[in-house]
With several copies, the nearest count.
Chain A
Amino acid sequence: MALTREQIAMRVAKEFKDGDYVNLGIGIPTLAANYVPEGIDVMLQSENGLLGMGRYPTEAEVDADMINAGKETVTAITGASIFSSAESFAMIRGGHVDFTVLGAFEVDANGNIASWMIPGKLVKGMGGAMDLVAGAKNIIVTMTHADKHGNSKLLADCTLPLTGVNCITRIITDLAVLEVRDGAFHLTERAPGVSIEEIQAKTAGPLVVPDSVPEMVL
């Protein structure tokens, strides 16, 4: 069975190590914060200038001056720091954020990612995504393995305008966990009950399948 959004987020959260500074993109990546394993603490960086992002506020706590990068009202944890956008991206660009998790339209076998622009559709902008993919030490892309028409999002070469080149090393989809290296997708885990054949069928780019591909533990 293909994973749900929540299950993808659960699998993402297993990547975190205690003490990681993590930037989570909008959507599935944000959900991962709900599934951080027991005994593991991560600190969330929000690129508008907040390190140590907390939960959503209660009605009484709502403060227009306290928002996250998705422009949602938010709180700060005890021990948070708040700073300018230049400082925030100095952190990101300088490789101080341990993990970035973000969505994508396409990833290719060279680790290129397209996530911000579909020609012909109105372009809203890249926000901080290009900085994040250029700067983070580890990047995890979360997305469905194929689009709603069944077209693979894991390609030999991205067809859409890129967000970054040669920067994606790990992908967690609804079907599988894959590493990107040496010009190919390397299958390392499959979703429970998902066959290797299905993953092969939905991976357009070169796919390396080892002899044994364990099921994910969620």
Chain B
Amino acid sequence: MSGFNKVVDTYEQAMAGLEDGMTVIAGGFGLCGIPEGLIAQIKTMGTRDLTVVSNNCGVDGFGLGLLLEDKQIRKMVSSYVGENALFEQQLLNGELEVELTPQGTLAEKMRAGGAGIPAFYTATGYGTPVGDGKEVREFNGRPYILEEAITGDFAIVKAWKADTYGNCIYRHTAQNFNPMAATAGKITVVEVEEIVAPGEIPPSEIHTPGIYVNRVIKGSFEKRIERKVTAN
């Protein structure tokens, strides 16, 4: 089954084809479950004018925040971006555009993009600035707004384990946006902690079937914690 072996050996291969102006969908919630090495590779490549779709934009000096340092991001599509000063500065300077999207709508837009649903209605955001300019329609007497799907030229995903066919599982809440991101990239690249043989992950436990995955690379992860809180 060599045609199904998605494993690549280098980050250059993993992100080959990424070009200026492309849209990149990234999994992760805050710093949890982010494809650290793939983000670093984009920084190394210096690709510019990117539209990045991700719930957050990392922090100063880590995660997607790294791509702000050389102003590689032109536009962020996120639900919450409050964690870094560089972001704030570039936003105020007009160097960076942000499209704030409710968290559930963002997740659903990615899922829809991967699932061939071009648009859907949701009550979320109706009557708020998020609904401005969007079609409103009533179903069963309640108003909803029309939201369109998101797809990316690339999706960058962090999984716990993948087999060589690209079947993935996620660990704990590091799952978050990763499964939807994985479905919505023209090219989906998954960075994992461990690569296993096909069959090691039981078929019904697979979170992301390999059909969505184009490339798999084994990474090593710092897994920085954003807010460490412990019980007394």
Chain A residues engaging chain B, CB cutoff 8 angstroms: 17-21, 40-43, 45-52, 55-59, 62-68, 70-74, 76, 78-97, 112, 117, 122-131, 134-135, 161-166
B125:A134 contact, CB within 8 angstroms: yes
Quick one: which of A72, A83, A86, A165 contacts B209, CB cutoff 8 A?
A83
User: Do the beta carbons of B81 and A124 come within 8 Å of each other?
Assistant: yes
How many residue pairs link A and B with beta carbons under 8 A? The number is: 244
Which residues of the partner chain A approach B103 to less than 8 Å between Cβ atoms?
A: 47, 85, 89, 126-128, 131
Interface: B199 (CB within 8 A):
yes
Residues of chain B within 8 A (CB-CB) of A46 are: 173
Residue B93 lies at the interface, judged by CB distance under 8 Å to chain A: no
A40 to chain B, nearest CB (A): 7
Query: Judging by beta carbons under 8 Å apart, are B167 and A131 in contact?
Result: no
Task: State whether A79 and B180 are in contact (beta carbons under 8 Å apart), knowing that A56-B231, A164-B128 are contacts in the complex.
Answer: no
B30 near A84 with CB under 8 A, answer no
Q: Please, which residues of chain A bring their CB within 8 A of the CB of B231?
A: 55-58
A71 and B30 within 8 A (CB):
yes
Q: Determine whether B62 belongs to the interface, using a CB cutoff of 8 Å to chain A.
A: no
Q: How far is the CA of A127 from the CA of B102 in the complex (A)?
A: 6
Using Cβ atoms and an 8 Å threshold, which residues of chain B touch A65?
32-33, 160, 171-174, 223
B 190-232 to A, binary, CB cutoff 8 A, 1 in contact else 0? 0000000011000110110111100000000001111111110
Check A88 against B230 for contact (C-beta < 8 Å).
Answer: no
Asked if residues B226 and A91 are in contact (CB atoms below 8 Å), the reply is no
Can you name 8 extra interface pairs (CB under 8 A) apart from A71-B32, A134-B123?
A48-B176, A56-B229, A58-B230, A65-B32, A73-B228, A86-B110, A89-B108, A163-B128
What's the minimum C-beta distance from B141 to chain A, rounded to whole angstroms? 12
Would A93 and B117 count as touching, CB distance under 8 A? Answer: yes
A18–B2 contact, CB under 8 A?
Answer: yes
What are 10 A-B residue pairs whose CB atoms fall within 8 Å in the complex? A55-B231, A56-B230, A65-B223, A72-B229, A85-B104, A85-B106, A93-B116, A112-B127, A134-B125, A161-B128
Residues of A contacting B209 in the complex (Cβ-Cβ under 8 angstroms): 51, 81, 83, 87, 91
